Structure 1
Amino acid sequence: MNDVSSREATGTRGPGRLAPALDEVDQRIVRELTADGRMSVRVLAERVNISRANAYSRLERLRDSGVLTGFTVKVDPAKAGLATSAYVTLTVRQNSWRHLTEHLRRIPEVEHMALVGGDADVMLLVRATDNQHLRQVVLGQLHDIPGVLGTRTTLIFEDIDNH
């Protein structure tokens, strides 16, 4: 194993830790899988111009190091019956983040959550069937979570997929 591979294989991720260095081949693998996570290893190896054995070992290392965290399916929210989407920001008590995430994970309409800096403390992507459903999520569920001091809702008129 060369120096670069050795450093990459032992790289760790997480708060305060450096992510493993990705060489050009690793970056191409990540781009290809981002475009199509269902692609076979044979096709991936062909597109990246490496052997299947090399593709398997690189995929394993990328998974083990936490670079690849899973393979997902992209769903068109409107076609799946979720015609209303919004970014909802929360202002929360500063010591309530861990407790808050437990509550937010139990709300199926919350697709993504992030702790952010700025005027708000938390940003959520919320998907709902319609405006009434969104209203119920924001006013009936989010406002009822202990530690939530206020919300601000911004409707999404059009989702634009970057990938």
Structure 2
Amino acid sequence: MAQSPKLDDTDRRILRELRRDGRLSNARLAEQVGLSATPCWNRVRALEESGVIEGYAALLNQKALGLPDTVLIEVTLERHDDDMLYRFGKALAELPEVMEAYLLTGEYDYLIKVAVAGTQGYEEFLRHKLYKLPGLRHSRSTFVLRTLKRETSVEP
């Protein structure tokens, strides 16, 4: 198991600022964390190389993209052998509506978060995509009424 890098207070300040705004210029980031530009750039680079910073992304508004509704789906598979888990996971990852998917312990095998356009969009997703995946035995769904908190990573 790889050991995680030792983070000091300055690294944590850098991570908090980048977590809030991944588009910060190095000069602005350095100013906000109290460093000059070169040491700040070196620290960010080291955080990237060590894997603490995995990447940068734009957060898209799913409502503006015509997919205003979020559904959480619990899925049980017919079998739990390696081949079934691999095939189901691979097929699931290819569905564009799937925003997150987790292999679980407990009563259900997977928890899936999908973006859809209302109940009609959800029915289409179920009938034409999810129910056609290999090995699906049972699913249970819950529509999200409101998002109370959404973060892209943990607070460093």
- TM-score over 0.5 for the alignment? yes
> Matches of 2:12 and 2:64 in 1, distance apart?
32
1:65 aligns with 2:66: no
Instruction: Note the C-alpha offset of 1:94.
Output: 1.6
Q: Deviations over 1:30-86 (max 9, x none)?
A: 111111111111111111111211111111111111111111111222222111111
TM-score by length of structure 1 reads 0.83
2:53 counterpart letter in structure 1: L
Q: Which runs of 5+ in 1 are unaligned?
A: 1-15
Q: Are residues 1:91 and 2:68 paired?
A: no
Q: 95, 98, 117: which is aligned to 1:110?
A: 98
Residue 160 (1) aligns with residue 126 (2): no
Give percent identity, aligned residues only: 28
- Say if 1:30 and 1:120 are closer, same or farther in 2 by CA, change over 3 A: same
Aligned to 2:129, what secondary structure does the other structure show?
helix
Number of residues of Structure 1 aligned to a counterpart in Structure 2: 148
Residue correspondence of structure 1 range 1-163 to structure 2 within 5 A = 16-92=1-77, 93-95=79-81, 96-163=84-151
Match of 2:61, SS state, is coil
Whole-Å separation in 2 of the counterparts to 1:148 and 1:26: 44
**Does the CA-based 8 Å contact 1:143-1:150 persist in structure 2?**
no
What secondary structure sits across from 2:114 in the alignment? Answer: strand
Cα distance change on mapping 1:130 and 1:162 into 2, 3 Å: closer
Q: Give me the whole-angstrom Cα distance separating, in 2, the residues matched to 1:123 and 1:67.
A: 25
Secondary structure of 2:75's aligned partner = strand
SS in 1 for 2:132: coil
1:143 alignment partner, SS class:
helix
RMSD of aligned Cα (Å): 1.6
User: Deviation digits for residues 69-111 of structure 1, max 9, x if unmatched?
Assistant: 1111112222221111111111123222222221112110001
